[in-house]
Amino acid sequence: MCSSDLAELAAELLLIAGADPEAVARNEQRVRPIHSAVAGRSFSVTRLLVEAAADVNAPQQGGLRPIHAAAQNGNAAAIDRLLKAGAKPDAISEDNQTVLMTAARNGRPDAVRALLRAGAKVNVAESFKGQTPLMFAAGEGNTQAAELLLEFGADLKARSKAGYTPLLFAVRNNHLDTVKFLLSKGADPNDKIGDNTPALSMSVLNADRSE
């Protein structure tokens, strides 16, 4: 029997015996069993905890919900299970990032797709730097995530508080495949950041730094 099967059996025995599915670790991280199950990619234990009425929107340190962990590790099955149990597709962490931003930043297209199909807001911007999910995807070179976001209506021309569009984030970080993709979708090759530095100048400056 594999370790995941043993973990499921142990969790089931504990729950049958009266274990509290809402038990919170006595530390500053405030981790609950469902956080650990999702972060550990244990779908079977996650299912058991959901069936035992574990709070799928319970925050841990940083305001992170179980669905944030599922988005970070790309577990679309866990996302679907959590959503069906009442998890919020637009849950926000304490740093004002949505679940969709987490999935886009970490390059998890299956998670991005699951969240978008559940109605996650595609053009919402976090309040610190004003970045959208597409900006996070472009800045990390996650082209597949960017493609999905555009299919669901992401704004290619949106700007962060510093004046960066998704294309400029991709150029700044030398993500050539993403740059090529965004240009093919209509991004402006003459785009400029807030101080009027054009994308082409930015790419030249990046080349100078790498030598």
Q: How far apart are CA 167 and CA 160, in angstroms?
A: 12
Please determine, for residue 12, whether its predicted confidence score (pLDDT) is greater than 80. Answer: no
Mean pLDDT estimate for the chain: 88
For residue 90, the tally of other CB atoms under 10 A from its CB is 14
| Torsion-angle region of 186 (φ positive above 0: left; ψ -120 to 50: alpha; else: beta) | left
Residue 157 has pLDDT above 80, yes or no: yes
Contact 146, 138 (CB under 8 A): yes
The DSSP output letter for 98 is: B
Q: Is the dihedral of CA 36, 39, 40, 46 positive or negative?
A: positive
> Containing H/E element for 83?
helix 76-84
> Nearest Cα to 140, choosing from 194, 103, 94?
103
pTM: 0.86
Residue 23: pLDDT above 90?
no
The token duo for 126 is: 């976090």
Q: What is the pLDDT of residue 211?
A: 36
Question: CA-to-CA distance for 68 and 125, rounded, in angstroms?
Answer: 17
Q: What pLDDT does 104 receive?
A: 97
Residue 169, pLDDT above cutoff 80: yes
